[in-house]
Chain A
């Protein structure tokens, strides 16, 4: 009986593992924050243009809209689902906003577009909650319906004629900070407060963690589900309006990558698709990590063909590290 002692004492644990474990213990997002900080630092040292305010404002400008979508996506992912229709909703709302703004007026256009987003989101939630359909199928379906309807209605023609003044919302700055970023920040605060302080927010975690337990515990699961998807749709609608404000054109073919980008941002932020957990900080960090990566590639003159590949690797690596740690920490 030879006693081969298996140890995992600190002395024998490799440094990198100790570091990642220490970071991981404080939640996936601090690990991500570390990666993001490293990335920013290396960019600052190697690419002087990166650190200029013009570039930073540019990064903020370009990523705030997808960040807003990601905030809604976060809620749906915590609930244990997701929404593939946010891109279609964004395109729809930007076209709708453009049309109403041109024919009626700006406030009416904004309200109509956001309400349309809310309606599609609520419909998604109703299908999921009341018919028990899977979010994948439901939102794939609505995505197709909305997009199809949009192309029928517009004959795939963009809508022009939005007044110059409206684009100030999308491109303007206040004290050097893009207005869209200020709106994004407001959305982040609202979602953060909802998850932390509201009963609805606490229910979202419970339903996402264990639907049956929440139901038996007296939670109105259908209502929570519909509400969550409605918020997701509303934010997608808002993002569509801001997209219109940036481009000045209601483009039916726009926003086709939103769903996957938003999901990517949330999961890169360390939120598992299995539901029940997740924080707003994850959506924000994930959004900017992906944004900074693509900005860095741009600044360094890397062909745009490379970008999806690099983004893909970032997702695999970030989520890979996170899952690896989860597995180590977990244990039945």
Chain B
């Protein structure tokens, strides 16, 4: 049994964990839920030996552990899949999986590369996961990176496994696969800690749920005592929600703010955009319209988005408000009012060493937040504070370093940057990855109000509910080809999933 007792942890004099008790039994799937910044990741990092200055006791199977380095934690039989990946970008998948456990080769410090590749492939296969073993990790999409992390942790044969928001970036098919793996592990007696903001998954997958709010445990109990809705209330704090249902019923009533499809003039026009040998695509998005770009992982949604803003060299034309963008690159696109919010906030999204202010102002500095090469500091300050409040970023301090934010709050900052730039057209790639249920609704409100102000919005998401809830129209992409384009109202979860999967086979 894994017991954490009275865990406290402070950053720079501010306590974020206020004496947390947490217990996991062998063979148990224990869900840890809480709002963004509640302290879930911090608690697990304590367990992972990342902090030397926590207080409290950790015992593993009766023995008191002093977990002050990741190695001590691993040796004690705990593996953690962190929310933000800890992969080596230039090593290939096989080597990342084997990292720290490389089979020795001949000679001193040699590595048997061939044996390693074979072993890593076998380890992935054991859990039914297929990965391109020889591809450097930096060239993988986030979903495959996530799977690499999972295989790496699973391969260690640990007795406790922590997964910090493993499904935040997985599509439905991979999620189902992950849940099978979790069940398999639990059967073998591994204690699994599962952190997620998908509360319906939580009640389905977990045996026990611990709710963390503002660094303290609010509730512990069997998962069967909860529904997604009661859990959401517990997690956000009852009073904040009122009577409004927190979790919209799947395929439920359309949002009131939704505009009529095609009501506005064409804002974003994509003509014969061809991504690397794939067939050309056409798409028109009207002012105020929200289009969901649906597709399985690997269907080419992210590449399409990068091609759109000129980050990948492509054929084809892109028009904003009828004006063609000449030589497209991310900068000229941004100037013309076409933005991409990238899916990977850590690698190419945020400037982690910079403050929240620096991150939010970044794109808008090129337009209305500077004049004559000088930054309009007072305006920046006002805009940033306003956005921090609107997005409910916690803590709402402009000068806090972005790397010190919790994952969900960092994601909000990334979207806030785009909002600050007042785009004419925007592509949001997985905009709510890792965002809690209350904040997700907030983010959706922000996206809708951006659309209401006339922005053409394209949303890429693996979250079916999100697409159906947010979009006016759904375009399904498979192998880089747009194979279906229909009003969102004509889909429900099942038919959308079917549309996405059917085409993958064809």
Contact = CB atoms under 8 A, between A and B. Distances in A.
B377 A215 contact: no
Given A6-B57, A210-B350, A218-B335, A202 B361 contact: yes
B354 A205 contact: yes
B12 A25 contact: yes
Provide the main secondary structure of the chain B interface. Answer: mixed
Contact of B362 (A6, A9, A206): A206
Given A212-B347, A217-B363, A332-B50, A275 B353 contact: yes
Contact of A2 (B51, B56, B64): B64
Nearest to B59: A1
A209 B350 CA distance: 9
Contacts of B377: 197
B64 A3 contact: yes
Contacts of A219: 331, 362, 366
Interface residues of A toward B: which range?
35 or more
Interface stretch (B122-130, B262-270, B367-375, B463-471): B367-375
Contact of A199 (B51, B311, B331, B373): B373
Given A5-B56, A197-B374, A199-B373, A210 B348 contact: yes
Contact of B375 (A198, A209, A218): A198
A276 B53 contact: no
Contacts of B5: 3
Nearest to B330: A216
B417 interface: yes
A329 interface: yes
Nearest to A272: B353
Contacts of B6: 5
Given A206-B358, A217-B417, A332-B50, A8 B55 contact: yes
Contact of A5 (B13, B57, B331, B348): B57
Contacts of B358: 202, 205-206, 209
B66 interface: yes
A55 interface: no
Contacts of B361: 202
B330 A215 contact: yes
Contact of B350 (A2, A4, A213): A213
Contacts of A2: 64
Contact of A276 (B51, B54, B348, B351): B351
A311 B54 CA distance: 37
Interface in A273-322: 274-277
A4 B350 CA distance: 40
A276 B353 contact: yes
Contacts of A216: 309, 311, 330, 340, 342, 348-349
A218 B53 CA distance: 40
A150 to B, nearest CB: 35
Contacts of B365: 199, 202-203
A199 B358 CA distance: 11
Given A202-B365, A205-B358, A332 B82 contact: yes
Interface string B337-348: 001101000011
A1 B375 CA distance: 59
Contacts of A210: 348, 350-354
B53 A212 contact: no
Contacts of B66: 6
B107 interface: no
Contacts of B349: 213, 216
Interface in B299-351: 309, 311, 330-331, 333-335, 339-340, 342, 347-351
A20 B417 CA distance: 35
Contacts of A208: 353
Contacts, number: 123
A332 B45 contact: yes
Nearest to B311: A216
Interface in B76-118: 82, 84
A199 B373 CA distance: 5
A331 B66 CA distance: 17
Interface string B283-312: 000000000000000000000000001010
A217 B45 contact: no
Given A197-B377, A332-B50, A6 B354 contact: no
Contact of B373 (A3, A200, A214, A275): A200
B62 interface: yes
B331 A220 contact: yes
Contacts of A7: 55
Contacts of A331: 11, 45, 50-51
A59 to B, nearest CB: 33
Nearest to A327: B52
Nearest to A215: B330
A218 to B, nearest CB: 3
A214 B375 contact: no
B351 A209 contact: yes
A327 to B, nearest CB: 10
A307 B342 CA distance: 51
B375 A197 contact: yes
Given A198-B373, A198-B375, A213-B362, 19 more contacts: A1-B62, A8-B53, A9-B55, A25-B13, A199-B374, A205-B351, A206-B354, A209-B354, A214-B351, A215-B330, A217-B363, A218-B335, A218-B363, A274-B353, A275-B353, A276-B353, A276-B354, A331-B50, A331-B51
10 contacts: A5-B56, A199-B375, A209-B354, A210-B350, A213-B350, A215-B330, A216-B309, A218-B335, A218-B362, A331-B51
Interface of B: 3, 5-6, 11-13, 45, 50-51, 53-57, 59, 62, 64, 66, 82, 84, 309, 311, 330-331, 333-335, 339-340, 342, 347-354, 358, 361-363, 365-366, 370, 373-375, 377, 403, 417, 421
